[in-house]
Amino acid sequence: MDKGGAKRGGRWLAVFFASLLVLPLGFCGYVKWREPRSMLPAEVQWSEVLAFNSTFGLREGCSFGVYRLSDNARFALLRGGKLPGGWRPSPLALIDDRHAALAPLGRQITLHADSAVTCASDTARRFRLVEGYEDAMREKGNWVRIINGGEALVLVAPRRGLIWYLNFG
Beta bridge pairs of residue 144: 88, 155
Structure letter (DSSP) for residue 72: H
The amino acid that residue 17 corresponds to is F
Q: 155 pairs with which residues across the strands? A: 144, 164
User: With bands split at pLDDT 50, 70 and 90, how would you rate the model's confidence at 168?
Assistant: very high
Query: What's the CA gap between 83 and 67, in Å, rounded?
Result: 17
User: Is a pLDDT exceeding 50 seen at residue 23?
Assistant: no
At 74-123, the pLDDT tens digits run 999 999 988 888 898 888 888 887 778 887 667 788 888 888 999 999 99
pLDDT tens for residues 143-159? 999 988 889 999 999 99
Q: What is the DSSP string of 135-147?
A: HHHHSTT-EEEEE
| Nearest C-alpha neighbor of 113 from the set 90, 137, 132, 95 | 137
Lowest mean pLDDT among 10-24, 32-46, 134-148, 155-169: 10-24
